[in-house]
Amino acid sequence: MAEILKCDETFDHTYFSGSSCAFGVFDGVHCGHRYLLSCAQQTACESGGASIALTFDIDPDEVFHPERLKKLMTNEERIKALSESGVDAVVVLPFTKRFSASTPEEFLLNTFNGHAPSYLHVGFDFRFGARAKGTVRELSNWAEAAGTEVCAHDLASADGAPITATRIRLLLGENDIAEANKLLGHPYYVVGTVEQGRGEGKEFGFRTANLKVPSQLQALGAGVYGAYAYVNGRRYKAAVSVGVSPVFEDRTDATCEAHLLDFEGDLYGKPIKVEFHHFLRPMIKFETLDELIATVNGNIAWVRENM
Ligand SMILES: Cc1cc2nc3c(=O)[nH]c(=O)nc-3n(C[C@H](O)[C@H](O)[C@H](O)COP(=O)(O)O)c2cc1C
Ligand SMILES: Nc1ncnc2c1ncn2[C@@H]1O[C@H](COP(=O)(O)OP(=O)(O)OP(=O)(O)O)[C@@H](O)[C@H]1O
């Protein structure tokens, strides 16, 4: 696992000298991001410097577009995934208001502080600095004097289109978990603490662990999914409903209800990770409880047999 270094007052900027940096937010740490990170590893290997994932502590959209944010990961998960991607270090820039208001030139000056990397890898459409005014052109102007080689890459593609976090968010919103997982290169998941539900699931014959997913992480469209749930390091098959149950419309907050197969015990207050694999069906507004119970039992049986 790579070192995680915060680029604050205590950070030694000489760390950048001779390095190969891949620069971006990297929400999802998807296959396109992994391609860019592997390019940084490649030039680091050739030049003998360190390979670095250079990123921000928070997603800048949390500051600029909080209302439409549907992140693929929390910031902590994103930084951890970057640290496990094969690079030598993750350098985390604090995304303060002041920092974000700086011009592209100020941004580069403050970030590298006179110790520019040997290679800087970005996608050709990469933008940075105040109002995202900095492009590969500004980077290249700065890089010449700084002695950095800017490597602006074509975006890695799948099925004829670039792999981007935006594309993956759209797929998730349309319930296409299989395609989203393919582009992510890993299963989409959410992590949360189990909260008290209404306890009705027990009466219906299937207990459910209710997870509250913050709205900014609700990228997955409403529906029923085949999933794996991880509790205390153990994996369980799970049938999971995402979204508000239309039968119980007064409940507006439950965003993820997981029935773990063959699990006995109390989950309240425990952290669980739910990894989504198959879309089974949309949410249904059932006329009767019997219909709801029969359909959910059918979903549970499918998960038991097919996962
Ligand atoms: C696999 C699964 C599928 C579900 N599908 C639906 C559905 O289509 N429509 C609906 O209104 N509720 C659906 N539910 C929600 C149940 O109605 C809910 O789990 C039940 O009310 C128990 O809630 P409680 O745990 O808060 O007591 C589903 C739940 C699970 C676990
Ligand atoms: N498919 C890809 N192939 C190569 N590089 C990529 C790809 N997608 C993004 N990048 C680059 O990776 C870095 C991080 O990108 P960024 O976090 O903006 O990801 P993104 O997937 O394009 O997100 P969004 O869709 O939200 O804009 C940037 O330098 C970006 O240009």
Coil vs helix vs strand at 302 = helix
**Per-residue tokens: 134:** 């900095």
**Per-residue tokens: 103:** 């011009």
Q: Phi and psi for 175 in degrees, rounded to 5?
A: 70, 10
Q: Considering every ligand atom shown, identify the ligand nearest to the alpha carbon of residue 121 and give its number.
A: 2
Closest atom of ligand 2 relative to the 24 alpha carbon? 14
Do 147 and 18 lie in one domain? The reply is yes
Q: What's the whole-number average pLDDT of the chain?
A: 91
pLDDT score at 133: 84
pLDDT score at 200: 66
In a domain, 263, yes or no: yes
Check pocket membership of 185 for ligand 2, CB cut-off 6 A. Answer: no
pLDDT score at 78: 97
Neighbours of 11 (CB within 10 A): 15
How confident is the model over 200-219, as a mean pLDDT?
83
Treating both helix axes as pointing N-terminal to C-terminal, what angle do 104-112 and 136-146 enclose, rounded to 10 degrees?
Answer: 50
Check pocket membership of 155 for ligand 2, CB cut-off 6 A. Answer: yes
Coil vs helix vs strand at 240 = strand
Of the residues 257, 264, 275, 287, only one is catalytic, namely 257
pLDDT score at 63: 81
CA of 198 to the centre of ligand 1 (A): 11
Ligand 1: residues with CB < 6 A are: 197-201, 206, 208, 210, 224, 239, 241, 245-248, 257, 259, 283-284, 286, 292, 296, 299
User: In terms of Cα–Cα distance, which of 197, 194, 260 is closest to 227?
Assistant: 260
Do 205 and 265 lie in one domain? The reply is yes
Residues in Cβ contact with 117 at an 8 Å cutoff, skipping those fewer than 6 apart: 16, 17, 18, 19, 20, 21, 49, 52, 148
List pLDDT tens digits, range 110-130.
899 999 999 999 999 998 877
pTM for this prediction: 0.93
In a domain, 155, yes or no: yes
pLDDT score at 249: 63
In a domain, 148, yes or no: yes
pLDDT score at 202: 66
- ipTM (interface predicted TM): 0.88
Q: Dihedral of CA 42/45/49/53: which sign?
A: positive
Residues in Cβ contact with 287 at an 8 Å cutoff, skipping those fewer than 6 apart: none
CATH code: domain of residue 36: 3.40.50.620
Do 193 and 234 lie in one domain? The reply is yes
d(Cα 227, Cα 158) in Å, to the nearest integer? Answer: 24
User: In terms of Cα–Cα distance, which of 84, 112, 108 is closest to 2?
Assistant: 84
How confident is the model over 158-168, as a mean pLDDT?
96
What residue owns the CA closest to ligand 2's atom 4? 155
Neighbours of 291 (CB within 10 A): 12
Domain total for the chain?
A: 2
SS3 content of the chain, % helix, strand, coil (to 5): 35, 25, 40
How are beta strands 157-158 and 161-162 bridged, if at all?
Answer: antiparallel
How confident is the model over 170-184, as a mean pLDDT?
98
CATH code: domain of residue 222: 2.40.30.30
Domain of 125, in residue numbers: 3-162
Do 144 and 24 lie in one domain? The reply is yes
- Last residue in a domain, options 128, 162, 196: 162
Angle at the Cα of 215 (from 209 to 221), degrees rounded to 5? 75
User: In terms of Cα–Cα distance, which of 291, 232, 228 is closest to 261?
Assistant: 228
Whether the pLDDT of residue 248 is over 70: the answer is no
Q: Is 257 one of the catalytic residues?
A: yes
d(Cα 106, Cα 136) in Å, to the nearest integer? Answer: 15
Order the strands of the 3-6 sheet from edge to edge: 3-6, 89-93, 51-56, 20-23, 119-123, 149-153
Do 224 and 141 lie in one domain? The reply is no
Whether the pLDDT of residue 242 is over 90: the answer is yes
CA of 106 to the centre of ligand 2 (A): 22
In a domain, 111, yes or no: yes
Do 122 and 211 lie in one domain? The reply is no
